[in-house]
Amino acid sequence: MSTITETEMWQAIRAEASRAATEEPMLASFLHLTVLRHESLARVLAFHLSSKLSSSTMDARALYETFLRVLEQDPEIVAACVADIAACYDRDPACDQYSLPLLYFKGFHAIQSHRINHWLWQNERKTLAYFLQNRASEVFGVDIHPAARFGRGIMFDHGTGIVIGETAVLGNDISLLHGVTLGGSGKESGDRHPKIGDGVMIGANASVLGNIRVGQCAKIGAGSVVVRNVEPQTTVVGVPAKAVGLSRNVPADDMDQSLMVDDYTFAI
């Protein structure tokens, strides 16, 4: 797990963007606007997200000023962003620069949009939070209720099709692949969505339904439907999901998409 500081990451991102602008002149203006003209990671994040979420009915400048105020009032959001970038860099073999998630990974953009949205929700700006939830869903293909609670070091690999409900809670150092649903199991009200422990990995197109707990460092196989609690360090797979063994190390970090059963390896 990376221990890079915000200052070190910001310096690395600026250096990467500067090199990229030299190597690809066609992107020099883009990289200047999105990274090189800014003074901090918070300002880059506010600018990039506001540019993506603006529309004909929502001015980008107004969004930028709102996002920047949120980031300045709550430094924990930027600290979590640093951990999320580091998670992509550490876990995704396609990510060999810190600047890549910030500039190009829509799963990362969806997480950061939600972090700001959650702050707005908690500070009684629910109408704007609902608007931005809808807009982020349209732009990034990820639908997260503003009330859902996230820890640090979260990675959405690809991100497309992820749905996370209102009372869901995600701990630290979690990896979700595309198509994951953390949803309810009916139309009951109240606390009705999953609680995901630290270090969990959830495979592509898996559904975790209801107010259930997925224990620390568990692994959920792709395409599984989970409707009961999952014990810590346990691998589950199937419809409905059943325990098939113990997960090794920290599944979210390993990103190992295989299942070891009786010395044979099956893709999940």
pLDDT at 260 (0 to 100): 61
pLDDT at 162 (0 to 100): 98
pLDDT at 1 (0 to 100): 62
**% residues pLDDT > 90 (the chain):** 90
Q: Is the pLDDT of residue 187 over 90?
A: no
pTM of the predicted model as reported, rounded to 2 decimal places: 0.94
Q: Give the span between the Cα atoms of 109 and 101, in whole angstroms.
A: 8
Q: Is the pLDDT of residue 262 over 90?
A: no
For residue 91, is it left (φ>0), alpha (ψ between -120 and 50) or beta?
Answer: alpha
Mean pLDDT taken over the chain: 94
pLDDT average, residue stretch 105-125:
98
pLDDT at 263 (0 to 100): 32
Confidence of residue 192 (pLDDT cuts 50, 70, 90): very high
SS3 147: coil
Give the distance, in angstroms, between the CA of residue 23 and the centroid of all CA atoms in the same chain. 29
pLDDT at 58 (0 to 100): 94
Read off the DSSP letter of residue 230. B
**pLDDT tens across 57-93, in order?**
999 999 999 999 999 999 999 999 999 999 999 999 9
Q: Give the span between the Cα atoms of 140 and 245, in whole angstroms.
A: 35
pLDDT at 259 (0 to 100): 73
pLDDT average, residue stretch 41-60:
96
pLDDT-wise least confident of 21-30, 119-128, 135-144, 178-187: 178-187
Q: Is the pLDDT of residue 178 over 80?
A: yes
Q: Give the span between the Cα atoms of 215 and 108, in whole angstroms.
A: 24
Task: Return the structure tokens found at 211.
Answer: 């107010």
Give 3 or 166, the one with higher predicted confidence. Answer: 166
Torsion of CA 162, 139, 156, 183, to 10 degrees: -20
Instruction: Please report, in angstroms and rounded to a whole number, the separation of the first and last CA atoms in the chain.
Output: 25
Domains of the chain: 1-141 (1.10.3130.10), 148-268 (2.160.10.10)
**pLDDT tens across 205-248, in order?**
999 999 999 999 999 999 999 999 999 999 999 999 999 999 87
